[in-house]
Structures are given as C-alpha cells and as structure tokens.
Amino acid sequence: MDASNGSKPQEQMLPVDNATVPYWRTELHELDEHRTTEELPAECDIAIIGAGMTGVSTAYHISKLAGDNTPSVVILEARQLCSGATGRNGVGKSTTSYKTLSY
C-alpha cells in the first residue's frame, strides 16, 4: 500500500498472475478463450469492460434491442469468460424475487 493515499502501487494492480481459481473453473470451456477477431478492432460503437454476467448480458440485450441496426460491440476481458467476480461469487443470481423472502 502507498502510505500517502492508501492505494496499491501500479505493479500490484489487477489482474495478478497467481489469481485464485474457483473449483468450478478448473476445467475451462471452449468459449472461455473465444475471439471473433485476431486483433482488437481500431474502433467500435460500444466497448464493454468485463465478460461476466453483466457484460455478456449487456451485449446480448444490445444485440436483441438493436434488431437489424446492431452496433459494433467489443467485450474486453482480462482473462476468461466469467473468470472475475462473476466466477468467484458463483454468479450470485437467484430466481427468487426479493419480494418473496420472509423477514
């Protein structure tokens, strides 16, 4: 930690080389390393940071809502599909509505 402002030095920023791998990610799927292009495009209409549930869902809904006028969308991910917070937290999604929970 930097004593002056409490932040981590640049060399300790994510992604780290020895990240913890959840047991459900020990056997990767072919989509984990999927790319539609060899190189990143020089420009796009929409850039989405992260290929977790939120990023992938955003790209999906953009494509569905846009219809025939789908914009150029690029998803940027530091590692593999759902390997960040989504993968560590088991996605954290439930089909139960908060309104149905008893307090």
Question: Where would I find the H helices in the chain?
Answer: 53-66, 85-88
Question: What is the number of domains present in the chain?
Answer: 1
Confidence of residue 33 (pLDDT cuts 50, 70, 90): confident
Average pLDDT over residues 6-32: 70
Is residue 15 one of the residues assigned to a domain? no
Is residue 62 one of the residues assigned to a domain? yes
Average pLDDT over residues 21-42: 80
Structural domain of residue 46, as residue ranges?
42-88
Please, which residues have CB within 8 angstroms of residue 47's CB and are 6 or more apart in sequence?
A: 73, 74, 76
Is residue 33 one of the residues assigned to a domain? no
Q: If you average pLDDT over each of 9-13, 21-25, 35-39, which comes out highest?
A: 35-39
Is residue 58 one of the residues assigned to a domain? yes
Confidence of residue 9 (pLDDT cuts 50, 70, 90): low
**Residue closest to 81 by CA, chosen among 57, 58, 50:** 50
Is residue 20 one of the residues assigned to a domain? no
Is residue 65 one of the residues assigned to a domain? yes
Q: pLDDT for 47-92, tens place per residue? A: 999 988 889 999 999 999 998 888 999 999 888 777 777 666 654 5
